[in-house]
């Protein structure tokens, strides 16, 4: 009976809320793929526009995850049965060349580069991390509020990470010429000051500068109703100029940005 007596209030509240809204909140329909152009209220960026954003992420993001696989033959302290198993490890990244090939300081004792020498394929995953939290977070719907579904614990990440762009670069490792070492060292240490201790010729570990020669680019720009999701032609990735990526802005580079709300979908 107590529940039935509360229904009129819930009904009035629902009516009041609906009257205040200009339109109902539809559910998101395209999360992991792009909708037909006619089905979206937003202009989805082209693959080239997405490449420009991706090149900016590469320039501004000093960390990434390098993925390799263990060779079939085990060795050293490696357990048995790891052959063909994937491994992803954090790595310092720098954007020291103009063609979109990331630069790495390869410490030869590292498992990642041991796997590469053993014949492994390699890919680099990076995501955009905004330096400022949004002023406006993604909102719950009225029905979430009414039925208590928005009573969530404090979010440890102050933004919707899956709504932000990220990519995977697939390619192969290529050693840099010794003549380029000085320029690479200057660029890399500008991005990672502590890397000065592991530069080629250091007394601790053998190291060398290498590039990931990008052959394929997979891009997720955010949710599929407003962002491009799919493969970016590698020629587009490599043809982006510094002027182009310096002229765009990623979400959260400046204070005051807003995430989308469910009423925007």
What is the H or E stretch that residue 68 is in? strand 63-69
CB 223 within 8 Å of CB 30: yes
* Phi, psi angle pair for 258, to nearest 5°: -130, 135
Instruction: Quote the CA–CA distance of 205 and 97 in Å, as a whole number.
Output: 25
Res 256: pLDDT: 86
Instruction: Quote the CA–CA distance of 7 and 10 in Å, as a whole number.
Output: 5
Instruction: Quote the CA–CA distance of 24 and 125 in Å, as a whole number.
Output: 37
Q: What is the pTM of this model?
A: 0.78
Return all residues near 150 (Cβ < 8 A) that are at least 6 apart.
140, 144
* Phi, psi angle pair for 231, to nearest 5°: -80, 135
Res 132: pLDDT: 87
Q: What is the pLDDT along the chain (265 residues), one digit of tens a residue?
A: 444 444 343 333 444 434 444 444 333 334 445 555 455 566 899 999 999 999 999 999 999 999 999 998 766 678 888 999 999 999 999 999 999 999 999 999 999 999 999 999 999 999 999 988 888 776 655 555 556 555 555 667 677 888 899 999 999 999 999 889 999 999 999 999 999 999 999 999 999 999 999 999 999 998 888 899 999 999 999 999 999 999 999 999 999 888 764 334 3
Sign of CA dihedral 144, 146, 152, 157: positive
């Amino acid at each position: 009976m107590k529940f039935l007596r509360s229904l009129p209030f819930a009904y009035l509240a629902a009516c009041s809320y609906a009257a205040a809204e200009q339109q109902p909140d539809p559910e998101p329909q395209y999360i992991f793929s792009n909708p037909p152009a006619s089905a979206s209220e937003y202009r989805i960026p082209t693959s080239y526009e997405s490449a420009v954003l991706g090149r900016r992420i590469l320039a501004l993001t000093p960390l990434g995850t390098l993925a390799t696989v263990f060779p079939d033959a085990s060795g050293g302290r490696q357990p048995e049965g790891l052959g063909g198993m994937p491994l992803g490890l954090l790595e310092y990244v720098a954007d020291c060349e103009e063609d979109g090939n990331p630069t790495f300081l390869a410490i030869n004792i590292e498992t990642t580069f041991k796997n590469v020498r053993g014949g492994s394929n390699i890919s680099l995953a990076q995501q955009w991390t905004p330096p400022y939290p949004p002023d406006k977070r993604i909102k719950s719907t009225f029905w979430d509020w009414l039925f208590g579904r928005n009573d969530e614990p404090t979010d440890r990440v102050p933004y919707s990470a899956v709504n932000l762009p990220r990519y995977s670069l697939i390619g192969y490792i290529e050693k840099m010429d010794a003549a380029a070492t000085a320029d690479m060292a200057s660029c890399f240490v500008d991005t990672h000051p502590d890397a000065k201790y592991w530069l080629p010729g250091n007394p601790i570990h053998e190291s060398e500068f290498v590039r990931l020669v990008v052959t394929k680019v997979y891009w997720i720009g955010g949710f599929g109703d407003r962002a491009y999701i799919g493969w970016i032609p590698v020629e587009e990735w490599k043809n982006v100029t510094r002027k182009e990526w310096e002229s765009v802005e990623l979400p959260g580079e400046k204070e005051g940005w807003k995430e989308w709300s469910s009423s925007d979908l």
